[in-house]
C-alpha cells in the first residue's frame, strides 16, 4: 500500500508534459549567469570583462562554507557584470557572457575510485546544490553534525505540472542510481529509499527492477506536499523530525533525484551548469522537458516556447511549481541551478475570485501538514501581535501553501506567514 503522511491536499496534477522526453533547450547569444544560485553567501566573481571562458569554466568562487561555485554554461567572452532581478524577488550580480556558439567545454578530472572524501570534495568543487529548487549547497548537507543511517531520495515531484525528475528517472536511470550509490558512500550509510508518488508507476517499476537491495523504492500516495522533507521522512520511516529540528536529528539526509544525477555527472567531471527543467502551462505552445543551461533569461525561454499562442493569452508566469513557486513580475530573471520549472498560464488557469472575510470554516488548518492554525496566524499578523504569532508556532510552517490553496475566502495566508516570519526575524523576537 502507498505510504503517506497526515493532512495535505490533492490539487489537479496537470502533468501534461509527463510523456515528453528530455531534449536540449536552445541557447541565446547572451547569457546572464547569477552569482547567487544557492542559499547562502553569493559567489565571488573571478572573471573580468574581456575574459574568455568555456562551458565549465569557474567564474564565481563560493563565498563561504554555505555557498557554491558557479560555472559558465557556454564558451565565449565575458561582456559585463550586471545586477538583475532574481526569480525569488531579490537582486543579484550576474555575469553576462557573449556566446561564441562553439560549445567548447572544460571538465574536472574524472574520479575513477570514488571514496567518501573525494566525493564530498567533488560535490563542493562542482558547485552542486539541492536541485529540487531548495538550492541548499549539497556538500553542507552531506556533512551532517550528527550520525545518520538513512538516505532518502525525493522522487515525489508532488508539485502539479513539474515532470523533469520523472523524466530523469526514466531516461537517465543508470546515472541516477549511480548518483544514489555515491551519495550513500559520501554519507557512509547502508540504506537508501527512493520515494516516488504512485502517479509515476513507470518510474516505480523501472527503478524497483534496477536498484540493488540496499536501495529500496517506496511507493507514496500522490498527495501534496509529499515531497516536503518532514512529510517524506515520516511517510517512509515514520520518524518525526522535532519542531525546529533537521532531518539529521532523526538520522536521515534527504536529497532530490536531480541532485543524485548531478553528483554522478560531477564524478565523471561535469560541473553543475546545466539542468533538467519543465516548461509547461497553456500560455505557451512548446511545452516539454528540457536540459537547459544556466543563464537563459525567462524572456528568451518564453520567446522560444510561445509558438502561436498570442502574447495577451499568457497572464501569469511562475518559476517553480504553482504551489511553492514564485510568480514573476517580469521576464528578466535567468535560469539557475534551482530552476526546475517555468509555467506560463492563461487567465482560465488562474483563480480570479477576490479575497473575502474569513468564514472560520477551518479548512486551512485541516489541510495543514504541520497542524498549524493559519487563519489565526494571519489575523495576529495583521494586528501586529507577533508574540501570539510565535506562540502559534509560525516557525514550524514549511510554506507549502496548502492553507492558501484550500481557503474558500482566498485569504493570502502564506503571504501573511512569510511576512510574519520576516518581521520576527528582523525584530529578533523569540
Question: Which is nearer to ligand SF4, 151 or 403 (by Cβ)?
Answer: 403
Cβ neighbours for 152, distance < 8 A, ≥ 6 positions apart: 192, 193, 194, 195, 232, 233, 236, 237, 247, 252, 253, 254, 255
Residue 66 CB, shortest distance to ligand SF4, in Å, is 24
Question: Interface with ligand SF4 includes 411 (CB under 6 A)?
Answer: yes
Question: Which is nearer to ligand SF4, 149 or 399 (by Cβ)?
Answer: 399
Within 10 A of 112 (CB to CB), how many other CB atoms are there?
Answer: 8
Q: Interface residues for ligand SF4 in 332-371 (CB under 6 A)? A: 358-364, 367-370
Residue 352 CB, shortest distance to ligand SF4, in Å, is 17
Phi-psi region of 311 (alpha: psi -120 to 50; beta: other; left: phi over 0): alpha
Question: Interface with ligand SF4 includes 232 (CB under 6 A)?
Answer: no
Grid cell digits, residue 64: 563561504
Q: How far apart are CA 172 and CA 85, in angstroms?
A: 33
Question: Interface with ligand SF4 includes 132 (CB under 6 A)?
Answer: no
- Look at the block and give the residue holding cell 497572464: 315
Nearest to 43 by CA among 74, 71, 12, 1: 71
Q: Interface residues for ligand SF4 in 7-66 (CB under 6 A)? A: none
Residue 353 CB, shortest distance to ligand SF4, in Å, is 12
DSSP structure class, residue 180: H
Residue 389 CB, shortest distance to ligand SF4, in Å, is 11
Residue 315 CB, shortest distance to ligand SF4, in Å, is 25
Q: How far apart are CA 63 and CA 267, in angstroms?
A: 23
Cis peptide bond prior to 369, omega within 30° of 0: no
Question: Interface with ligand SF4 includes 414 (CB under 6 A)?
Answer: yes
Question: Which is nearer to ligand SF4, 339 or 404 (by Cβ)?
Answer: 404
Question: Which is nearer to ligand SF4, 189 or 400 (by Cβ)?
Answer: 400
Question: Which is nearer to ligand SF4, 289 or 375 (by Cβ)?
Answer: 375
Q: 379: number of CA atoms within 13 Å, CB side?
A: 10
Q: How far apart are CA 236 and CA 252, in angstroms?
A: 11
Question: Which is nearer to ligand SF4, 309 or 368 (by Cβ)?
Answer: 368
Q: How many residues bind ligand SF4 (CB under 6 A)?
A: 29
Residue 399 CB, shortest distance to ligand SF4, in Å, is 5
Site string for ligand SF4, 379-408 (x = CB under 6 A): ------------------xxxxxxx--xxx
Task: Tell me the three state secondary structure of residue 6.
Answer: coil
Cα 395 to the chain's mean position, in Å? 21
Residue 5 CB, shortest distance to ligand SF4, in Å, is 12
Question: What is the DSSP pairing of strand 150-155 with strand 191-197?
Answer: parallel
Question: Which is nearer to ligand SF4, 265 or 411 (by Cβ)?
Answer: 411
* Under 8 Å between Cβ of 96 and 77: no
Residue 139 CB, shortest distance to ligand SF4, in Å, is 28
Residue 365 CB, shortest distance to ligand SF4, in Å, is 7
Q: Which of 409, 419, 421, 423 binds ligand SF4 (CB under 6 A)?
A: 409
Task: Tell me the three state secondary structure of residue 117.
Answer: helix
Question: Which is nearer to ligand SF4, 179 or 374 (by Cβ)?
Answer: 374
Q: Which of 37, 199, 375, 380 binds ligand SF4 (CB under 6 A)?
A: 375
Within 10 A of 113 (CB to CB), how many other CB atoms are there?
Answer: 5
Q: How far apart are CA 404 and CA 402, in angstroms?
A: 6
Question: Interface with ligand SF4 includes 325 (CB under 6 A)?
Answer: no
Which positions lie near ligand SF4, rule CB under 6 A? 358-364, 367-370, 372, 374-375, 397-403, 406-409, 411, 413-414, 417
Amino acid at each position: 500500500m502507498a505510504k503517506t503522511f497526515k493532512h495535505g491536499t490533492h490539487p489537479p496534477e496537470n502533468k501534461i508534459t509527463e510523456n515528453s522526453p528530455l531534449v536540449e533547450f536552445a541557447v541565446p547569444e547572451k547569457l546572464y549567469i547569477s552569482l547567487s544560485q544557492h542559499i547562502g553567501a553569493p559567489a565571488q566573481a573571478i572573471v573580468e570583462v574581456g575574459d574568455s571562458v568555456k562551458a565549465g569554466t569557474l567564474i564565481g568562487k563560493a563565498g563561504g562554507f554555505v555557498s557554491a561555485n558557479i560555472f559558465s554554461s557556454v564558451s565565449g567572452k565575458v561582456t559585463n557584470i550586471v545586477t538583475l532581478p532574481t526569480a525569488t524577488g531579490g537582486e543579484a550580480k550576474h555575469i553576462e557572457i557573449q556566446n561564441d556558439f562553439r560549445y567548447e567545454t572544460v571538465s574536472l578530472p574524472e574520479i575513477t575510485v570514488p571514496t567518501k572524501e573525494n566525493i564530498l570534495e567533488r560535490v563542493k568543487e562542482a558547485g552542486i546544490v539541492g536541485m529540487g529548487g531548495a538550492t541548499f549547497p549539497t556538500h553542507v548537507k552531506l556533512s551532517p553534525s550528527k550520525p545518520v543511517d538513512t538516505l532518502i531520495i525525493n522522487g515525489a515531484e508532488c508539485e502539479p505540472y513539474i515532470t523533469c525528475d520523472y523524466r530523469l528517472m526514466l531516461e537517465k536511470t543508470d546515472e541516477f542510481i549511480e548518483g544514489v550509490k555515491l551519495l550513500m558512500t559520501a554519507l557512509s550509510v547502508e540504506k537508501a529509499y527512493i520515494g516516488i508518488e504512485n502517479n509515476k508507476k513507470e518510474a516505480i517499476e523501472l527503478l524497483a527492477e534496477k536498484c540493488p537491495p540496499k536501495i529500496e523504492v517506496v511507493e507514496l500516495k500522490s498527495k501534496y506536499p509529499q515531497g516536503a522533507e518532514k512529510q517524506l521522512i515520516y511517510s517512509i520511516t515514520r520518524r518525526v523530525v522535532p519542531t525546529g529540528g533537521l532531518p539529521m536529528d532523526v538520522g536521515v539526509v534527504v536529497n532530490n533525484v536531480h541532485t543524485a544525477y548531478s553528483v554522478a555527472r560531477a564524478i565523471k567531471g561535469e560541473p553543475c551548469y546545466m539542468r533538467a527543467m519543465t516548461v509547461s502551462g497553456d500560455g505557451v505552445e512548446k511545452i516539454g522537458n528540457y536540459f537547459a543551461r544556466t543563464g537563459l533569461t525567462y524572456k528568451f525561454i518564453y520567446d522560444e516556447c510561445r509558438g502561436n499562442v498570442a502574447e495577451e493569452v499568457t497572464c501569469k508566469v511562475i518559476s517553480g511549481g504553482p504551489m511553492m513557486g514564485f510568480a514573476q513580475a517580469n521576464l528578466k530573471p535567468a535560469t539557475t541551478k534551482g530552476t526546475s520549472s517555468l509555467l506560463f498560464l492563461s487567465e482560465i488557469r488562474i483563480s480570479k475570485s477576490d479575497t473575502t472575510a474569513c468564514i472560520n470554516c477551518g479548512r486551512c488548518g485541516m489541510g495543514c501538514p504541520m497542524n498549524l492554525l493559519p487563519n489565526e496566524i494571519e489575523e495576529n499578523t495583521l494586528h501586529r501581535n507577533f508574540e501570539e504569532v510565535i506562540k502559534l508556532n509560525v516557525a514550524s510552517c514549511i510554506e507549502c501553501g496548502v492553507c492558501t490553496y484550500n481557503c474558500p475566502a482566498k485569504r493570502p495566508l502564506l503571504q501573511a506567514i512569510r511576512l510574519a516570519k520576516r518581521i520576527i526575524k528582523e525584530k529578533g523576537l523569540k
